[in-house]
Amino acid sequence: MRNRSTGIVLLFVLLFGVSCSKFRKIEKNPDWRVKYESALNYYNKKDYYKASVLFEQIMPIIRGLPEAEKGQFYLAYCQYYEKLYLLASEQFRTFYETYGRSSLAEEARYMYAYSLFKSSPGANLDQTGSKEAMASMQEFLNRYPKSKFRDQALEVIYTTQERLDQKGFENARQYYKMRQYKASIVALRSFQNNFPDSKYLEESRYLIIASKYKLAEQSIYTKQRERYQEVIETYKDFIDRYPNSAHLKEAEKMYTDSLEKLSKLKNFNI
């Protein structure tokens, strides 16, 4: 059994060595046509690394020739399948800028935006790339409103919007976590203005109540009356909007306590 396993390993090594040797010979071949046909063959076999190496070698040589269009398009896809998404996006952009009248230009524009989307990070990181991807995809839809890629493009836009939505909320909520309540109120209001359809609106409005309540607690006596009154008014607006909110019990406690504190402050003529 051990000898059989060793034999299989040796056979694999031998085949791998032959494959590499063949590829090296193709790389060194001065005939670009051999490299072009080999690159297409590797691409069809889904060996995208070898295909991309060969395409990159011959692109400067075949530029202006009929083969260059397919070579550029496949090179972009090779890098996409290799998960080199930023490089792929640049290759797809080069394609549609160079071959704007090609029947593949529409797909290249879509893949440019989609590659940007694939390269963008999760919601916990900087979202500059996500914004660029969403803008590029929207531009694609504006150019090709009836594209066969329309549904996928819309899905990218929705997903990216949710990612930006989450990031915006997390950024605003961070001020509350750091107990910077004035900044928290400003940031949460800004979030609401920027994301009026956000699924986090309810929680952001609750956090404004909580921020105002915490701020009132920390304030000097001369400012407490005004700030507890703001808690009360903000609470009333909140329950009008969300009468069945999951945060209702906590918000009601702050509202009740604010009423009591306000009553005491009035009694003391503060």
pLDDT tens figures, 12-47: 444 444 456 888 899 888 899 999 999 999 999 999
* DSSP per position, 189-234: HHHHHH-TT-TTHHHHHHHHHHHHHHHHHHS-HHHHHHHHHHHHHH
Report d(CA 77, CA 136) in Å as an integer: 18
The 10s digit of each residue's pLDDT in 97-132 is 999 999 999 999 999 999 999 998 664 555 677 889
Q: Which CATH class is domain 181-270?
A: mainly alpha
* 234 closest CA partner among 210, 253, 257: 210
199 three-class SS: coil
Backbone torsions φ then ψ of 59, nearest 5 degrees: -55, -45
Report d(CA 185, CA 205) in Å as an integer: 9
- HSE-CB for 236 with a 13 A CA cutoff: 7
Instruction: Mark the ranges of the chain whose per-residue pLDDT is less than 70.
Output: 1-20, 121-127, 267-270
Q: What residue segments make up the domains of the chain, in order of their start?
A: 21-82, 100-177, 181-270
Q: Given this model, what pLDDT does residue 265 score?
A: 79
Per the CB < 8 A criterion, the answer to whether 58 and 35 are in contact is yes
Q: Which residue has the tokens 């329950």?
A: 239
Q: Given this model, what pLDDT does residue 123 score?
A: 47
Q: Given this model, what pLDDT does residue 268 score?
A: 61
pTM of the model: 0.77
Q: Given this model, what pLDDT does residue 221 score?
A: 83
Question: Which tokens go with 181?
Answer: 């309540």
Per the CB < 8 A criterion, the answer to whether 163 and 127 are in contact is yes
